[in-house]
């Protein structure tokens, strides 16, 4: 029995409607896909702009550092040490700050040839103590063995052969803070910033704010800047017996930065003799941190640089961008 005309017409109408619905669904799918592609492209464009903005913020901060009119003295009141912020009409905001590496203890000092007087191991051990770690010796020994150039010590290849996973000490300077987590005794919790404690507590320092990895090969430890170093770092250099002298130094530099080590010698001759060549009043290495943000997207730059003592010229040692 053949379908009637009305049946054939109804079937054709159903097929037509199905085709229209399918076509509409495909159109909506294509529109949604096109919207997602457009959103992704827009996000990429924003990220690229943020990356450029963060880099420019870091560059501008380094221009100020290079233009320092007195390379013989560095202190926290100088133009280059002030955070720099800028907001564009569309809401994009940038921020950058230059930090003097001389204010920190450099973990890589343990890999450098030691100068007469107190060794970097002694200083590192005392710094950890002033930051509340009263069992610092094994940690210091482990880091020293990890970065020194020899194979003698309790924490060398034989020790790490049984680690999980097994690894081999590089016997060289560290190039990134993450490498510290490979060292016996160093954990994310150990390196996490501590909440601010009672400033009168001599052992309340924060190791996360007192020590850094300066990614450069050294022939000798990086000196500490007398004008910018924290109390914990200066105490680690001087020792507990010079607590009063260190407090005096902190008070004096708030009034007038030390322009030479001769001023320290006049004020505190015993402390000056103890510190020796481990301190200076200016710096060579600096860290710049910059950030650009728009809405919930951002881009950052962290860079380590070296500034020439005489010309102020900047040499970039490490440039680490990040987007999110």
C-alpha to C-alpha distance for 246 and 129, rounded to whole angstroms: 16
Residue matched to tokens 């009141």: 77
More confident call, 219 vs 106? 106
Residue 239 tokens read as 């020792």
C-alpha to C-alpha distance for 63 and 248, rounded to whole angstroms: 34
More confident call, 38 vs 86? 86
184 φψ region: left (φ > 0), alpha (ψ -120 to 50), beta (else)? beta
C-alpha to C-alpha distance for 121 and 109, rounded to whole angstroms: 9
Give me the pLDDT at residue 150, please: 86
Residue matched to tokens 């002298």: 245
Q: What average pLDDT does this structure show over 100-111?
A: 96
Closest CA to 55 of 245, 290, 317, 256: 290
Q: 85, 95 in Cβ contact below 8 A?
A: yes
Give me the pLDDT at residue 322, please: 87
Domain map (residue ranges) of the chain = 6-102+285-323, 106-280
80-89, 182-191, 299-308: the lowest-pLDDT one: 182-191
Per-residue pLDDT tens digits for 57-91:
999 999 999 999 999 999 999 999 999 999 999 99
Q: What average pLDDT does this structure show over 291-316?
A: 95
Q: What average pLDDT does this structure show over 254-281?
A: 93
pLDDT at 230 over 80: yes
CA dihedral 125, 274, 223, 262 (to 10 degrees): 160
Give me the pLDDT at residue 11, please: 67
More confident call, 113 vs 168? 168
Give me the pLDDT at residue 57, please: 97
91-95, 99-103, 189-193: the lowest-pLDDT one: 189-193
The whole-model pTM stands at 0.85
C-alpha to C-alpha distance for 281 and 69, rounded to whole angstroms: 15
Give me the pLDDT at residue 35, please: 66
320 — phi, psi (to 5°)?
Answer: -120, 105
Confidence of residue 203 (pLDDT cuts 50, 70, 90): confident
Average pLDDT, the chain: 89
More confident call, 269 vs 27? 269
C-alpha to C-alpha distance for 301 and 299, rounded to whole angstroms: 7
Give me the pLDDT at residue 98, please: 98
pLDDT at 24 over 80: no
Give me the pLDDT at residue 8, please: 60
Q: What average pLDDT does this structure show over 149-161?
A: 90
Kindly report the CATH number that applies to the domain delimited by 106-280. 1.10.40.60
C-alpha to C-alpha distance for 103 and 206, rounded to whole angstroms: 13
C-alpha to C-alpha distance for 268 and 245, rounded to whole angstroms: 7
Q: What percent of the chain has pLDDT over 90?
A: 67
Residue 280 tokens read as 């200076």
27-36, 79-88, 280-289: the lowest-pLDDT one: 27-36
Confidence of residue 6 (pLDDT cuts 50, 70, 90): low
Q: What average pLDDT does this structure show over 149-157?
A: 89
The upper half-sphere exposure of residue 159, i.e. CA atoms within 13 Å in the direction of its Cβ, equals 16
197 — phi, psi (to 5°)?
Answer: -110, -175
Give me the pLDDT at residue 32, please: 65
Q: What average pLDDT does this structure show over 175-197?
A: 89
Task: For the domain made up of 6-102+285-323, give the CATH fold.
Answer: 3.30.1300
**Helix/strand/coil for 211:** strand
Give me the pLDDT at residue 18, please: 67
């Amino acid at each position: 029995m053949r379908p009637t005309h009305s049946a054939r017409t109804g079937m054709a109408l159903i097929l037509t409607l199905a085709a229209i619905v399918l076509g509409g669904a495909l159109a909506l799918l294509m529109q949604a896909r096109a919207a997602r592609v457009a959103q992704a492209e827009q996000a990429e464009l924003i990220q690229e702009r943020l990356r450029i903005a963060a880099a420019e913020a870091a560059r501008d901060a380094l221009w100020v550092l290079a233009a320092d009119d007195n390379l013989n003295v560095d202190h926290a009141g100088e133009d280059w040490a002030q955070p720099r912020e800028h907001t564009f009409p569309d809401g994009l905001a940038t921020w950058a700050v230059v930090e003097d590496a001389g204010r920190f203890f450099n973990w890589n000092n343990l890999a450098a040839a030691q100068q007469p007087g107190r060794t970097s191991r002694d200083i590192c051990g005392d710094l950890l103590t002033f930051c509340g770690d009263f069992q610092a010796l094994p940690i210091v020994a482990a880091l020293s063995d990890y970065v020194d150039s020899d194979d003698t010590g309790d924490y060398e290849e034989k020790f790490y052969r049984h680690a999980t996973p097994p690894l081999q000490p590089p016997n060289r300077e560290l190039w990134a803070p993450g490498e510290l987590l490979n060292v016996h005794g160093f954990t994310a919790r150990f390196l996490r910033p501590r909440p601010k404690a009672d400033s009168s507590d001599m052992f309340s320092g924060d190791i996360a704010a007192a020590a850094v990895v300066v990614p450069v090969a050294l022939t000798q430890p990086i000196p500490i800047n007398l004008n910018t170093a924290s109390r914990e770092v200066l105490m680690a250099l001087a020792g507990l017996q010079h607590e009063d002298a260190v407090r005096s130094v902190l008070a004096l530099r708030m009034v007038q930065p030390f322009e030479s080590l001769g001023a320290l010698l006049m004020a505190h001759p015993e402390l000056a003799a103890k510190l020796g060549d481990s301190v200076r009043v200016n710096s060579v290495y600096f860290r710049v941190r910059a950030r650009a943000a728009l809405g919930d997207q951002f881009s950052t730059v962290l860079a380590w640089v070296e500034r020439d003592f005489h010309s102020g010229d900047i040499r970039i040692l490490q440039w680490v961008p990040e987007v999110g």
